[in-house]
């Protein structure tokens, strides 16, 4: 008891790992911090009996871009039951799929330029009413890209985005399951050519 009331010994700074090597202790500390944070949120939700604080799952939304430690992020997320909504190469792909078919493999800057051509004035601000009409098609297009990537043995390759898994989960939780479009999406063989007056957002490119 007396020892616990005494002055604490000074805390030593952790030794830095050699350059080029990762620190196992710092990794454990970081992982532990994530787990402790999740448990703290859960306890607070139960204490306040607030359903808005409670959660059924945890998601992290990010782009691949030129992520230097994507593999590490996936391993850490899996270890802590964190779901990932990843867009490759960038989140703009998910928005583009609301307006047209995938343009194929692109650098993130090219993908961003394409979205700006479809939505003039786009600057990382999402105008939800602008994209809402194309949401059912975006889900189907993104699912098709995922299936193609899996078929060739490179899941998550460029271009893919599984953001739809998160959005569909949210909709189902709210009892707003997404209905299929009233008319089937035109195929490349049957898709009519857009009129000259059509805007890029109104036409669906093959």
pLDDT tens-digit profile of 36-87? 666 666 666 666 666 665 667 889 898 998 777 888 888 888 888 889 999 9
pLDDT at 186 > cutoff 80? no
Please tell me the predicted confidence (pLDDT) of residue 176: 64
pLDDT at 187 > cutoff 80? no
Please tell me the predicted confidence (pLDDT) of residue 112: 94
Backbone angles phi, psi at 9, to 5 degrees: -65, 150
Average pLDDT over residues 179-197: 39
Buried-exposed string 50-59: b where 16+ CB fall within 10 A, e elsewhere? eeeeeeeeee
Q: How confident is the model at residue 98 (pLDDT cuts 50, 70, 90)?
A: very high
Task: Provide the whole-model pTM.
Answer: 0.63
Report d(CA 188, CA 181) in Å as an integer: 18
Token readout for 110 is: 């090219």
Please tell me the predicted confidence (pLDDT) of residue 65: 80
CB atoms within 10 A of CB 48: 11
145 Cβ contact list (under 8 Å, min separation 6): 102, 159, 160, 161
Three-class secondary structure of residue 60 per DSSP: strand
Please tell me the predicted confidence (pLDDT) of residue 179: 42
Backbone angles phi, psi at 151, to 5 degrees: -65, -35
Summary mean pLDDT of the chain: 74
The answer to whether the CB of 54 falls within 8 A of the CB of 46 is yes
Report d(CA 43, CA 164) in Å as an integer: 29
Q: Where are the beta strands (DSSP E) in 104-203?
A: 160-161
Between 156 and 181, residue with greater pLDDT? 156
């Amino acid at each position: 008891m007396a020892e616990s009331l005494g002055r604490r010994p000074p805390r030593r700074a952790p030794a830095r790992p050699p350059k080029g090597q990762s620190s196992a202790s710092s990794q454990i500390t970081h992982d532990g911090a994530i787990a402790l944070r999740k448990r703290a949120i859960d306890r607070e939700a139960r204490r306040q009996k607030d359903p808005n604080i409670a959660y059924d799952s945890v998601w992290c939304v990010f782009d691949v871009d030129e992520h230097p430690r994507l593999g590490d992020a996936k391993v850490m997320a899996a270890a802590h039951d964190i779901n990932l909504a990843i867009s490759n190469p960038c989140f703009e792909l998910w928005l583009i799929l609301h307006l047209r078919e995938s343009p194929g493999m692109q650098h993130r800057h090219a993908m961003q330029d394409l979205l700006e051509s479809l939505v003039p004035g786009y600057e990382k601000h999402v105008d939800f009413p602008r994209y809402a009409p194309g949401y059912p098609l975006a889900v189907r297009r993104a699912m098709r890209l995922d299936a193609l990537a899996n078929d060739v043995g490179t899941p998550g390759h460029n271009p893919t985005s599984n953001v739809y898994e998160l959005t569909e989960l949210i909709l189902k939780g709210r009892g707003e399951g997404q209905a299929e479009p009233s008319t089937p999406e035109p195929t490349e063989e049957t898709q009519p050519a857009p009129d000259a007056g059509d805007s890029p957002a109104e036409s669906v490119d093959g």
